[in-house]
Amino acid sequence: MFPRILQFARQRSFFLFGARNTGKSTLIDERFSEENTLWLDLLDPDLEYRFASDPNALAQIVLNLPAEIIYIVIDEVQKVPKLLDVVQSLMRQCDKFFIMTGSSARKLKRGGANLLAGRAFVYHLFPFSYLELNGHFKLSQALETGLLPEVIASETREEQDLFLQAYAHTYLKEEIAGEQLVRNLDPFRKFLEVAAQANGKIINFANIARDVGVDEKTVQNYFTILEDTLIGFYLEAYQNSFRKRLSKKPKFYFFDTGVVRALARMLSVPLQESTSGYGDAFEHFIILECYKLCKYLNPEYRLTYLSTTSGAEIDLVVERPGKPLLLIEIKSSTELKPEDLSKFIILSQEVPDAEAVCFCRDPFVKQFEHVRVVPWEQGVKTYFAQTLPAPESNNR
């Protein structure tokens, strides 16, 4: 079992959100012992029906627990949002801590659910980071099939592909159809494929709407569903005083490289080095690493990208309170030369007081004018994981 970076406050109630199969239940099970934890799994249809019919049944259960039960885990809490009102009341009545997990925030957000008004912390869990896998990490696997725990545990590539294909179907069946998030599943299924193919590109809602056969408003709603079910996130365009005209449209990144390849129907297509497909996958992977580590360790960092109307682009702009703006160019090359960074060198010079770096597969640190070139592992760790905590030990 690989230790996760995410740390919990043990003397506070909290939410733990994450897409399906990111390992939420496993992590909670590892960190909190059976002897002092009550587990309520709302994926159990009988339990879901019981609480949906009578949310106050939770109070009867909790108030009659023995003193040694300190933690109450409510798995997939979004299935019965009204339970959160009961939880808030119980937090005033007893000295228990509530751990609420969910793979979708949509029903909570759209239903105006009680998020406990700051009484509970909010954490997010993602697929593995390369830092969590240590010597078991393989870049080729991360790019082709991603870093979901089930994929890492699979022994063969065939098992990985079958799991990822099933994941896409399960998402459609349980998160979308099961929760009735869209009325007609066929356009959404087509949207998933088109959106996956446009992963990491500046979003053109009109073009996607035309390809899917729906209107732009529907496409925007579809992207919101992906956000709310934690399948992806927007990377907004950087906006600040800058002499060039900047693009204002966002990009969208799926939460895992393997899942996006499954949705795009590209699992059977091998990634070849020195191709645009490989470069896009590598860029996606690096941005996901930075995004995860910001959520875990640097919550005040803000990630954006910069693109001018003339087509010049900076892959990642990192706003760090109290530090210079960080500009990151991502290259999959193993032998970087100054001409490979010519556009980045020129554009980054025009952003005042910024630190410019390039993360790449070149094993050597280099300096091209004001741009520092570093191996991607060193770059990610140096700029995003300086406060990496020691792994939390298992409570069992």
Alpha helices in 230-373 (DSSP H): 257-263, 276-297, 342-349
Instruction: Decide if 362 is inside a domain.
Output: yes
Instruction: Decide if 395 is inside a domain.
Output: no
- What pLDDT is recorded for position 396? 45
Domain end: 72, 92, 124, which one?
A: 124
What distance lies between CA 160 and its chain's CA centroid?
20
- What pLDDT is recorded for position 242? 57
21 lies in which domain range?
13-124
- What pLDDT is recorded for position 106? 72
Instruction: Decide if 1 is inside a domain.
Output: no
Q: How much of the chain exceeds pLDDT 70, in percent?
A: 93
- What pLDDT is recorded for position 108? 72
Q: How far apart are CA 240 and CA 217, in angstroms?
A: 28
- What pLDDT is recorded for position 109? 66
Burial class (CB in 10 A: 0-12, 13-18, 19+), 53: exposed
Instruction: Decide if 2 is inside a domain.
Output: no
pLDDT tier, 246 (very low <50, low <70, confident <90, very high otherwise): low
pLDDT tier, 113 (very low <50, low <70, confident <90, very high otherwise): low
- Give mean pLDDT, residues 355-365: 96
> In the numeric block, which tokens belong to residue 390?
């020691």
Residues 156 and 83 placed together within one structural domain of the fold: no
Residues 91 and 133 placed together within one structural domain of the fold: no
User: Lowest mean pLDDT: which of 137-146, 222-231, 255-264?
Assistant: 222-231
Instruction: Decide if 396 is inside a domain.
Output: no
Residue 8 has pLDDT above 60, yes or no: yes
Residues 43 and 175 placed together within one structural domain of the fold: no
Residues 202 and 287 placed together within one structural domain of the fold: yes
145-180 burial string, b = 16+ CB within 10 Å, else e?
Answer: bbbbbbbbebeeeeebbebbeebbeebbeebbeeee
Q: Which of 309, 317, 350 is nearest to 235 (CA)?
A: 317
DSSP state of 287: H
**Sign (positive/negative) of CA torsion 108, 109, 113, 114?**
positive
**Sign (positive/negative) of CA torsion 88, 90, 93, 98?**
negative
pLDDT for 249-307, tens place per residue? 899 999 999 999 999 999 999 999 999 999 999 999 999 999 999 999 999 999 999 98
> In the numeric block, which tokens belong to residue 214?
């729906």
Q: What share of the chain is helix, strand, coil (3-state, %, to 5)?
A: 45, 20, 40
Residues 100 and 138 placed together within one structural domain of the fold: no
Orientation of helix 185-197 relative to helix 205-212, angle to 10°: 130
Residues 294 and 364 placed together within one structural domain of the fold: yes
Residues 191 and 237 placed together within one structural domain of the fold: yes
Q: Can you give the length of the chain in residues? A: 396
Q: How far apart are CA 220 and CA 197, in angstroms?
A: 16
- What pLDDT is recorded for position 107? 67
pLDDT tier, 7 (very low <50, low <70, confident <90, very high otherwise): very high
Which is more confident, 109 or 66?
66
Instruction: Decide if 3 is inside a domain.
Output: no
Residue 393 has pLDDT above 90, yes or no: no
DSSP state of 102: E
> In the numeric block, which tokens belong to residue 117?
């008004």
CATH of the domain at 67: 3.40.50.300
By the 8 A CB rule, do 352 and 363 touch? no
Q: Which residues pair with 14 in a beta bridge?
A: 99, 121
First to last CA, the chain: 14
Domain end: 89, 124, 159, which one?
A: 124
- Give mean pLDDT, residues 98-105: 88
> In the numeric block, which tokens belong to residue 125?
């869990």
Residues 267 and 343 placed together within one structural domain of the fold: yes
- What pLDDT is recorded for position 195? 96
- Give mean pLDDT, residues 366-376: 94
Residue 4 has pLDDT above 50, yes or no: yes
Alpha helices in the chain (DSSP H): 24-31, 45-53, 57-62, 83-93, 106-110, 130-133, 139-145, 149-153, 157-170, 185-197, 205-212, 216-228, 257-263, 276-297, 342-349, 376-384
Residues 250 and 184 placed together within one structural domain of the fold: yes
Instruction: Decide if 8 is inside a domain.
Output: no
Residues 202 and 71 placed together within one structural domain of the fold: no
- What pLDDT is recorded for position 170? 86
Residue 94 has pLDDT above 50, yes or no: yes
pLDDT for 19-67, tens place per residue? 999 999 999 999 998 889 999 999 999 999 999 999 999 999 999 999 9
- What pLDDT is recorded for position 390? 63
Residues 119 and 135 placed together within one structural domain of the fold: no
Q: What is the dihedral of CA 265, 269, 274, 276, to 10 degrees?
A: -20
Q: How much of the chain exceeds pLDDT 90, in percent?
A: 73
Domain count, the chain: 2
SS3 87: helix
> In the numeric block, which tokens belong to residue 350?
């025009």
Q: How far apart are CA 194 and CA 13, in angstroms?
A: 39
- What pLDDT is recorded for position 350? 86
Domain end: 74, 103, 124, which one?
A: 124
Instruction: Decide if 49 is inside a domain.
Output: yes
Burial class (CB in 10 A: 0-12, 13-18, 19+), 92: exposed
Residue 241 has pLDDT above 70, yes or no: no
Residues 208 and 353 placed together within one structural domain of the fold: yes
Residue 147 has pLDDT above 80, yes or no: yes
pLDDT for 164-184, tens place per residue? 999 988 888 777 877 667 788
